[in-house]
Amino acid sequence: MSVLRIHDLKVEFPGRKSTFVAVHGVTLEVEAGKILGVVGESGAGKSTVGNAVIGLLQEPGRIGEGEVFLHGQRIDNLPDKQKRLLRGRRIGMIFQDPLTSLDPLQTIESQLTETIRIHLKLSASEASARAIELLDAVGIPDPDIRIKQYPHQFSGGMRQRVVIALALCAEPEVVIADEPTTALDVSIQAQILELMKKLCADRNVSMVVITHDMGVIADITDHVAVMYRGKLVEYGETDQVLGRPQHPYTQSLISAVPRPDIRVERFPMVDYIEEAGTPTKHIDIATHWLGKARAYDKPEGALVKIRDLSMRFVTRASIVPSKRRFLDAVKNVSFDIHEGETFGLVGESGSGKSTIARLITGLFHPTGGSIDFAGTELTSLTDRRQVLAMRRQMQMIFQDPYSSLNARMRVRSIIAEPIKFHRLAASNTEVRQIVDDLLDHVGLGIAAGDKFPHEFSGGQRQRISIARALATRPRFLICDEPTSALDVSIQAQILNLLKDLQEELGLTMLFISHDLAVIRQMCNRIGVMRHGELCEVADCDALFDNPQHPYTKQLLELMPSMELLSRANLQESGPTGAPPAP
């Protein structure tokens, strides 16, 4: 018998003009001790399902139709007070961001014991003992000491463990976890998933895991429900759904997931996205403005040579030298990037990979070492004209599609700005023509120029960013996590676009990502970073097949296994060592 059963659930948000239906007739059930995954891209309504079950829909949302049963008892129409008694006692909840989920001004103990004593008839000392036991169960060392501490004294992963302890502290029958590992690093994510799986089995707790990440689904769920635009498109046992997807949306979603184990030439086109644009007229790169002035001198050796690069940030300034605190974000890093290749930098948050991108583009000034670009030493460059010439040759694409475009400028002015600033066109008419061509070429269409950035989706904005970066006719392009804020199907398109552009224009790329699978799809050579140091540099295939450094091995082991996923539609590409011939 199922523990939690959702029948024909419809959730609506009445708005000013019309009522928005976020969830359409969803029917699901979870059995005791099993894990159900709800997967979908942004806007699929997956979080809304979780909030509706626990009775915490955001205003003005409401359950329009359908029923929710807990052990056969209907709970969606209970009065508020009884719903509250259900929360925590019978249904637990885990939120995405462990950094903001805990009250910063209360000790862990006070937050645990208050929850325990609300739900269970226990004395203060019994509650305290139980709290310590729970912390131990979720894998927090020295629980009797740590329990007296405040949330800020815990790391992100440890805080998520505390959050899990809080969700479990009154022995609920079901736990709803909304993107429980999205805010965490890969290695921490693996540990937390392991813990959740173990707790479910040990305590016979059912769990609903809401996520966008196919890897998480493949890793821990028994059943999976795929949602698209508020509707349930496919529902079944996990290996069935992932291995032999029936619905075309599931099929295209799965084929868009980058795999660590195989490299594909291009991601297959996904039908289920409207925004996918293709250029209406193909410009001939050889004769077009974009392809002109590309006759650079061949550099001696590598295009970019980085030697002993170091960056130290002051985290606490003080007049007394002994009281100053520093953070060594980048420590003596050296590597080369050859003309025409894509060099990948991979590492967890805080490993210094983005800092390197900002050092190369001159956003930060290094504390030590040298950066040689096409034979020019960049760090000692002072002449403004030379600096500008270098800036023009290297451009950057940023991570966040929402903040990387100036919200107060029209798209046309955003893309025209670098052309005008570097005087790359003779007249305003020409600038206009170039901007139109660029917009068309990145698949947005000419009409996009007159709009403002907020009228576009995340993937489209990333295309605008790419057009802006191309507008200086760069030879070296730095992509700093260009797709990590995007849904997986959009990510596939953007990666395709970047691959095409590189091929057409013979660009050299530095591609930065925390996601080894994405790195594998894009790069010829890869550098692995940790705590500001470069652990290992190797050719792509060599790194995945035969990692040398222990950290690289660890990273590869922790990757969620994607072997379950169907391989239909995928075209494998050949070995990836050599850069494409220019």
Partner 1 sequence: MSNVSTDKTETAAAGMLARMVDSDIFHSFLKSKVTVIAAIGTAVLFLLAFFAPLIAPHDPFDLATISILDARVPPMWMEYADPRFVLGTDDQGRDLLSGIFYGMRISLIVGFCSVIAAAILGITLGLVAGYMGGRVDAVIMRIADIQLTFPAILIALLIDGAARGIFGALDREVFSFYILIFSLALSFWVQYARTVRGSTMVEKNKEYVQAARVIGIPAIIIMVRHILPNVTGPVLVIATINLALAIVTEATLSFLGVGMPPTQPSLGTLIAIGNDFLYSGEWWIAIFPGLALALLVLNVNLLGDWLRDALNPKLR
Partner 2 sequence: MRRLLQAMIVMLVVALLAFTLFRFVGDPINQMVGIETSIEEREALRERLGLNDPIPVQFARFIQSAVQFDFGTSYQFRQPVSDLFLKRIPATLELSFASAVFALVVGIPMGIYAGLNRESWVSKVFLSVSLVGISLPTFFIGILLIFFFSVNLQWLPSFGRGEVVEIGSWWTTGFLTASGLKALILPSITLGLYQMTLIMRLIRAEMLEVIRTDYIKFARARGLPDRLVHFRHALKNTLVPVITITGLQLGAIIAFATITETVFQWPGMGLMFLQAVQNVDIPIMSAYLLLTAFLFVSINFVVDILYFLIDPRLRIERA
Binding residues (CB under 8 A) for partner 1: these are 16, 358, 361-363, 387-388, 391-392, 394-396, 398-400, 403-409, 417-418, 421-422, 465, 468, 472
3-class SS at 537? strand
CB 266 within 8 A of CB 571: yes
Q: Taking CB within 5 to 8 Å according to partner kind, which of partner 2, partner 1, none is near residue 56?
A: partner 2
| Pairing of β 304-316 and β 368-373 | antiparallel
Judged by beta carbon, residue 354 or residue 493, the one nearer partner 1 is 354
Q: Taking CB within 5 to 8 Å according to partner kind, which of partner 1, partner 2, none is near residue 89?
A: partner 2
Tokens of 13: 């948000």
Beta carbon of residue 88, minimum distance to partner 2 (angstroms, whole number): 3
Spatial distance between the Cα atoms of 556 and 509, rounded to a whole number of angstroms: 23
Judged by beta carbon, residue 73 or residue 433, the one nearer partner 2 is 73
Residues recorded for the chain:
582
Q: Taking CB within 5 to 8 Å according to partner kind, which of partner 2, partner 1, none is near residue 570?
A: none
Using omega within 30 degrees of 0 as the cis cutoff, is the peptide bond preceding 60 cis? yes
CB 352 within 8 A of CB 529: yes
> Cα 500 to chain center, whole Å?
23
Beta carbon of residue 23, minimum distance to partner 2 (angstroms, whole number): 19
Judged by beta carbon, residue 78 or residue 409, the one nearer partner 1 is 409
Beta carbon of residue 34, minimum distance to partner 2 (angstroms, whole number): 22
Q: Taking CB within 5 to 8 Å according to partner kind, which of partner 2, partner 1, none is near residue 408?
A: partner 1
Beta carbon of residue 514, minimum distance to partner 2 (angstroms, whole number): 23
Q: Taking CB within 5 to 8 Å according to partner kind, which of partner 1, partner 2, none is near residue 128?
A: none
Residues that bind partner 2 (CB under 8 A): 54, 56, 84-89, 92-93, 95, 97, 100-107, 114-115, 118-119, 150, 152-153, 163, 166-167, 169-170
Beta carbon of residue 82, minimum distance to partner 2 (angstroms, whole number): 11
Beta carbon of residue 499, minimum distance to partner 2 (angstroms, whole number): 38
Closest by Cα among 368, 381, 348, 461 to 414: 461
**Residues 6 or more apart in contact with residue 387 via CB below 8 angstroms:** 362, 381
Judged by beta carbon, residue 118 or residue 276, the one nearer partner 2 is 118
Beta carbon of residue 363, minimum distance to partner 1 (angstroms, whole number): 6
Concatenating the DSSP letter of every residue in 188-238 gives HHHHHHHHHHHHHHHHT-EEEEEES-HHHHHHH-SEEEEEETTEEEEEEEH
> Cα 448 to chain center, whole Å?
26
Q: Taking CB within 5 to 8 Å according to partner kind, which of partner 2, partner 1, none is near residue 452?
A: none
CB 566 within 8 A of CB 245: yes
Q: Taking CB within 5 to 8 Å according to partner kind, which of partner 2, partner 1, none is near residue 92?
A: partner 2
Beta carbon of residue 47, minimum distance to partner 1 (angstroms, whole number): 18
With DSSP H G I counted as helix, E B as strand and the rest as coil, what are the percentages for the chain, rounded to 5?
35, 25, 40
Closest by Cα among 30, 80, 33 to 57: 80
Judged by beta carbon, residue 86 or residue 556, the one nearer partner 2 is 86
Q: Taking CB within 5 to 8 Å according to partner kind, which of partner 1, partner 2, none is near residue 472?
A: partner 1
Taking residue 495's Cβ as centre, other Cβ atoms within 10 Å add up to 23
